[in-house]
C-alpha cells in the first residue's frame, strides 16, 4: 500500500495556507503547516515531510534563510523545497536555486501549475 506523501506548507498568510491546503489535500496529500521560517525548520525537523512549499517573505526567518538552515542539517538536507515567490525576476529565481530550492512558483499560485510541480517531485 502506497504511503500518503506529506507536504509542509510554510506561509505567514492564512489565506494562502488555506488555499494551498485545499488544493493539495484534495489531491490526496497529507498537510503540515508552519506560519514562519523558524517554525518551518522546527516542523520539518520533527516530521520529515516529503516536500516543503515555502513562502519567501515571512517573519522570524525568511523562506531563503529557512531553506539554507534545512540544507545544513542531516535530517532535512535532502527534503525538496518549492519556493513561493511574489517576484518572478531572474535575480529572485537565482536566489531560490542558490539557497537550495528545487523549484519555485509565483503568486498568485495557479492550482494546475502547483500540482504539476508537486507531482513531478513526488510522483502521482
Partner 1 sequence: MTIPPNSLWVSEMTALNRRLEDRLTATDHRLGRLAQLLAAVTQLHVALDEAGVRTAIKEIAANLLGSEECALFRGPAPHQLELMDGIGVDPARHVALAADSAVVRQALSQGRPTVAPRDPVLACIPLVRHDTVTGALVLFGLLPQKSAIEPEDYELFDLLSIHAALALHHAELRALGRTEAW
Binding site for partner 1 (CB under 8 A): 13-16, 18-20, 22-23, 26-27, 86-89, 106-112, 114-116
- Whole-number minimum distance, CB 73 to partner 1, in Å? 29
Q: Which three cell numbers mark 105?
A: 512558483
Smaller CB separation from partner 1, 42 or 113: 113
Smaller CB separation from partner 1, 46 or 116: 116
* Rama region for 100: left / alpha / beta (φ>0; ψ in -120 to 50; rest): left
71, burial (CB in 10 Å: exposed 0-12, middle 13-18, buried 19+): middle
Please give the Cα distance from 1 to 73 (Å, whole number): 30
- Whole-number minimum distance, CB 118 to partner 1, in Å? 10
- Whole-number minimum distance, CB 64 to partner 1, in Å? 18
Amino acid at each position: 500500500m502506497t504511503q500518503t506523501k506529506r507536504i509542509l506548507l510554510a506561509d505567514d498568510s492564512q489565506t494562502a495556507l488555506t488555499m494551498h491546503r485545499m488544493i493539495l489535500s484534495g489531491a490526496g496529500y497529507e498537510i503540515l503547516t508552519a506560519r514562519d521560517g523558524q517554525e518551518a525548520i522546527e516542523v520539518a525537523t520533527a516530521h520529515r515531510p516529503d516536500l516543503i512549499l515555502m513562502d519567501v517573505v515571512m517573519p522570524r526567518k525568511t523562506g531563503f534563510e529557512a531553506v539554507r538552515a534545512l540544507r545544513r542539517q542531516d535530517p532535512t538536507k535532502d527534503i525538496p523545497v518549492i519556493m513561493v515567490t511574489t517576484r518572478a525576476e531572474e535575480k529572485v529565481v537565482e536566489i531560490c536555486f542558490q539557497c537550495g530550492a528545487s523549484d519555485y512558483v509565483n503568486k498568485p499560485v495557479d492550482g494546475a501549475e502547483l500540482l504539476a510541480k508537486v507531482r513531478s517531485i513526488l510522483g502521482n
